[in-house]
Structure 1
Amino acid sequence: MTARAPRIGIVVTDAYAPDDPDPDTPLLLHALRQRGAEAAAVVWHDERIDLAAFDLLILRSPWDYPDRLDEFRTWLDRAGSATRVLNAPETVRWNLDKRYLAELEGAGVRVVPTVYAASADAAATALATHDTGDGQATDRGTGSGARVVVKPAVSAAARDTGLFAASDPRALALATRIVEAGGVAMIQPEIGELTDGHERALYLVDGVFTHAIAKGALLAEGGGLRGGVYVENPVVVDATPAEHALAQDALRAVRALTDGSAPLYARVDVVTSTAFGPCVLEVELIEPSLNLHVAPEAIAVVAEAILRAAGDDPDRPVSVGTAIPGS
């Protein structure tokens, strides 16, 4: 008896910004179909889709989830009860709030120094520790300068993220707006190497490094984004041995802190600074752009990893007579 083709859903949204498309999904769908899978794009918030029709759902670009967080959490519950989801819903929930960085630090992973402020007063105190009194950046990159980054603990694509002089009233205003909306404000010292665009995003599939990307500088001083919009300029780059080791350390900590399983995919953002050495900025386990359009050699690696994951339970019953939604 011939085994049926695995049915794989690539989880997306239907509302992308014109300047922020999803380049990965068409490439992955094509690669999976070439390998005999039934693969389709699945809009995460479309309740008409029978999630149980799929053997596996792969989170790829549900990029509007920060604006619909409660709905997304509910979807994770519904999807996880209907079929297998990767990365695992337990891991995704842990990764939703960037306070996981404190847990990574507690597990011995070097991260960017961060204060988590749950009140405007706490934010003001944190900002005061960085204020040199003249409103000017001094000794950029050492962690003792007067500029800071303020951002929410739950966000994506640099939303509500700003680079300010610590004494700039706009820094406290942003932090206050975050906490008054029920969030937690993260306050970090500016790292000059990060401001200058030397961040590295290391991608790992099944725990194995595939490629590294530099996105370029994103934040404009005084708040907001350079050019006014979130635009990455991904370029394939080399990562240092120390950065590779840091990414692996971060993944080991993730496994220890979550359900113990290795993430199918991960993006570990690192920067090597004068003050702190290589340190983790973020570990993205929910919906990182894989930038497969600039690293085409990784397409086959990701597709094969997905197919291996889909083969873990090939005899799982599927709803009879349910059509697989089109891409």
Structure 2
Amino acid sequence: MTVSARIGIVVTDPDFYPPEDPDHDTAPLVAALRARGADAVAVIWHDASVDLATFDLLVIRAPWDYPDRLDEFRAWLDRAEAETRVRNAPALVRWNLDKRYLQQLAQAGVPVIPTAYCAGGTEARAAIAALTAQGATRVVVKPAMSAGARDTGLFDAADPAASALADRIVARGGIAMVQPEIAELSAGAEKALYAIDGHVSHAIAKGALLRSGGGFLGGVYQENPVPVEVTARERSFVDDVLRAVADVTGERIPLYARVDTVDSAAHGLVVVEVELIEPALNLHVAPHAVDAVADAVLRAAAEVTR
């Protein structure tokens, strides 16, 4: 498929990406789009000198500093939406910024990790106590608005550091999420399933990330993506999740999505997170997916250039 269109792949400053977590996706995607006749370039989202109206399509890919500049990012979404077409759709991105979307998906019938959403430290301590009464020995505490597992901790349920983290999240005006530990997650069994234009394209095993007592294994956030097969059950599960997203938001199926899952003894196959803003697609370990992503972007561009 070839389309003559000007396409911006939305990223941030190259110096932002840490050595242990670089942007592996933009270069091969831009190259694939150019090979198909598109005028594709990387666009730094917060560069005020960029004329967004000159693009037929902006594709949000790696603006990974947006949690540090959330108000600015929201304003950028408003401006970009007013000046051109953006995928994933800004309305979908705004919805996905707050992990309380998981509560909406659960209400729509999607299996998710049981979660208490706490607006105060007292609520968080009560949630931890309730999990302890149900037999949980360890808990996860994290903010409802974050990325890259920032301010996310795995703790013994009796560890005061768990409620202390919840207090810090709430003190900043956030919502603290309290969940039981999923043993399979701690063992590294999380699986990221990628869907491009609603079709599962590839999957990776992410490996364990959290160290008990708070912080990351190895001291920094670092995934170890390994390509894995996708089962028929998982494909069907992703289909169900994306249909629920569309039903809840009233938006079309996203151009790209990462559905993080774990198959747990306690809860079955459940959603950990649905990332619709800037999921790393890990194209360096799944190069066969580059064509699918590029073709999907071109189809989206063709819709606005007809």
Pick the TM interval, shorter chain: over 0.9
Is residue 251 of structure 1 aligned with residue 254 of structure 2?
no
Q: Which position in structure 2 is the counterpart of 1:274?
A: 265
> What SS does the aligned partner of 1:313 have?
helix
Alpha-carbon distance between aligned partners in 2 of 1:90 and 1:53, rounded to the nearest angstrom = 22
Per-residue deviation, residues 295-322 of structure 1 (Å, max 9, x unmatched): 010000000000010000215xxxxxxx
Alpha carbons 2:198, 2:254 under 8 Å: kept: yes
- Aligned residue in 1 for 2:229: 238
Q: What is the distance in 2 between the residues matched to 1:260 and 1:67? A: 27
AA partner of residue 116 (structure 1): Y
Alpha carbons 1:246, 1:280 under 8 Å: kept: no
Moved segments of 4+, more than 3 Å = none
Q: 1:7 maps to which residue?
A: 6
Conserved in 1, the CA contact under 8 Å of 2:85 and 2:304? no
1:263 and 2:264 are equivalent in the alignment: no
Per the alignment, residue 97 of structure 2 pairs with 96
Contact 2:3/2:301 (<8 A) preserved: no
Distance between the aligned counterparts of 1:20 and 1:4, measured in 2? 32
What displacement does 1:4 show?
Answer: 7.9
Trace 1:13-24 onto structure 2 (pairs within 5 A).
13-14=12-13, 15-24=16-25
Cα deviation for residue 17 of structure 1 reads: 1.9
Q: How does 1:1-327 map to 2 (within 5 A)?
A: 5-14=4-13, 15-131=16-132, 144-314=135-305
Q: Please list every run of 5 or more consecutive structure 1 residues that lacks an aligned counterpart in the other structure.
A: 133-142, 316-327
Please state whether the residue corresponding to 1:59 is helix, strand or coil: strand
Whether the 8 Å CA contact 2:9–2:40 is kept in 1: the answer is yes
Aligned residue type for 2:5: P
- Which of the pair has more CA radius of gyration? 1
Q: What CA distance in whole angstroms lies between the structure 2 residues aligned with 1:48 and 1:42?
A: 11
CA RMSD of aligned residues (A): 1.3
Query: In proportion to residue count, which structure has more helix?
Result: 2
1:240, CA displacement in angstroms? 3.0
Structure 2 unpaired stretches of 5+: none
- Cα distance change, pair 4–151 in 1 and its aligned pair in 2 (3 A): closer
Give 1:259 shift.
2.9
Work out the number of aligned pairs and report it.
Answer: 303
The amino acid across from 1:108 in the alignment is G
> What's the TM-score once normalised by structure 2's chain length?
0.97
The Cα of 1:66 is off from its aligned counterpart by 0.6
For 1:5, give the aligned amino acid.
S
